[in-house]
Amino acid sequence: MSEQIFGELDAILAEIQSAEISDLDQLEAFRIKYLGSKNILKPLGGQIRNVPNEKKKEFGQLLNKIKQEAAAKYQSLQDGLAQSQSENQAAGIDFSAPTQELRVGTRHPVSLVINRIIEIFTRLGFTIAEDREIEDDWHNFTAMNTPEHHPARDMQDTFYLQDSTTRLLRTHTSSVQSRVMTSQQPPIRIIAPGRVYRNETISARSHCQFHQVEGLYIDKNVSFADMKQTLLYYAKEMYGEDVRIRLRPSYFPFTEPSAEMDVYWGLKTERDHKITKGTGWLEILGCGMVDPNVLSNCGIDPEEYSGFAFGMGIERQAMLQYRIGDIRMLFENDVRFLKQFRSAY
């Protein structure tokens, strides 16, 4: 019986010695428990009658020691806390005052989408290439198998620099293809995110500036199947495992054969009908096998190498992902609009 009481006292002593106290509330709880008028030592003191006579002295001493330790610890903690509090007060700091909201910036939805695209393609071994927005005619058009007077130049209404017939704002990130191919030999595996410009009437669906991510993969024996697989992987990562895609034959001067890729969006709501023009499908990119002319224009032997390229629009995908109904919102930089976008990317 007495063994058990001694054990309890030892446990309480250890508890007091190891108690961690960092604020006044905890300190008060400590005081009530060990030093208050109903402290836990009082009922134990009464147990002395169950202690054999030869141990009564030892019991009393232990009980006193516990009381003293508790009182000493209380005193020094009180002094310490009071001191740091007065230091804070002296420094004019009131830690109990409510804080001001910390305004953290948010990323632009276009950046969020670009960052996800970069993340997906870097996993496949693509590296990032960036180049100028003010381009020359050769890199934007001629090298890309679109010589002067080629009807395809009209597909993209170009902003030329004042007093210049050769310097222009790039109309697509495909200009980075020719920049990369004229400066390095295959294997080439790059994506090129960036801003592009076209002289178009601004509306809810189109703008005179927007963003693209270009992709270019050149090596020996690259096939159309490689391209399909790469783009399917992208679509799954971006739109979910059970995404459906389709490739429709198309035309670009710099690829042959060429295609446009659609993802299935659905036809459940009236809005779905509206944005997919009743088909359920949405075009997100153009792609194809790099035309041999483009390779030779840029100094790469088309007999030895082949490759694929794609170019995807970013705004369209951002609008899909965040259900934004008007492309102009992406360029107005209204903070009330922008601060809704929070993300880990």
By the rule CB under 6 A, 311 interacts with ligand PHE? yes
Q: Interacting stretch for ligand PHE, rule CB under 6 A, among 48-56, 71-79, 282-290, 299-307?
A: 282-290
What is the three-class DSSP state of 302?
coil
Cβ 272 to ligand PHE shortest distance, Å: 24
Residues 286-305 that bind ligand PHE (CB under 6 A): 286-288
Do the beta carbons of residue 330 and residue 313 sit within 8 Å? Answer: no
252 interacts with ligand PHE by CB under 6 A:
yes
* 3-state secondary structure (DSSP) of residue 233: helix
Would you give the binding string for ligand PHE spanning residues 145-174, x where CB under 6 A is met?
---------------------------x-x
Single-letter amino acid code for the residue at 236: K
Residue 165 to residue 199: CA distance in whole angstroms: 15
Please give the Cα distance from 133 to 175 (Å, whole number): 9
- Give the 3-state secondary structure of residue 13: helix
**Backbone torsions φ then ψ of 36, nearest 5 degrees:** -75, 175
**Burial of 321 from C-beta contacts in 10 A (0-12 / 13-18 / 19+):** middle
Contact range with ligand PHE by CB under 6 A, out of 109-117, 261-269, 306-314, 316-324: 306-314
Q: Can you tell me the distance from the alpha carbon of 193 to that of 182, in angstroms, rounded to the nearest whole number?
A: 19
**Nearest-angstrom CA–CA distance, 305 and 299:** 11
In angstroms, what is the minimal distance from the CB of 303 to ligand PHE? 21
Is residue 309 a contact point for ligand PHE (CB under 6 A)?
Answer: yes
Shortest Cβ distance from residue 245 to ligand PHE (Å)? 16
Residue 3, Cα to own-chain centre: how many angstroms?
A: 62
Rounded to the nearest whole angstrom, what is the least distance from the CB of residue 115 to ligand PHE in the complex?
20
Least CB distance to ligand PHE at residue 283 (A): 10
Separation between Cα atoms, residue 159 and residue 167, nearest integer Å: 9
Q: Which residue is nearest to ligand PHE (CB)?
A: 311
- What span, in angstroms and rounded, lies between the C-alpha atoms of 319 and 327? 7
Report the residue number, 34 or 305, with the smaller CB distance to ligand PHE. 305
Using the rule CB under 6 A, which residue among 141, 310, 319, 329 binds ligand PHE? 310
Q: Which is nearer to ligand PHE, 30 or 291 (CB)?
A: 291
Q: By the criterion CB under 6 A, which residues form the site for ligand PHE?
A: 172, 174, 252, 255, 286-288, 309-311
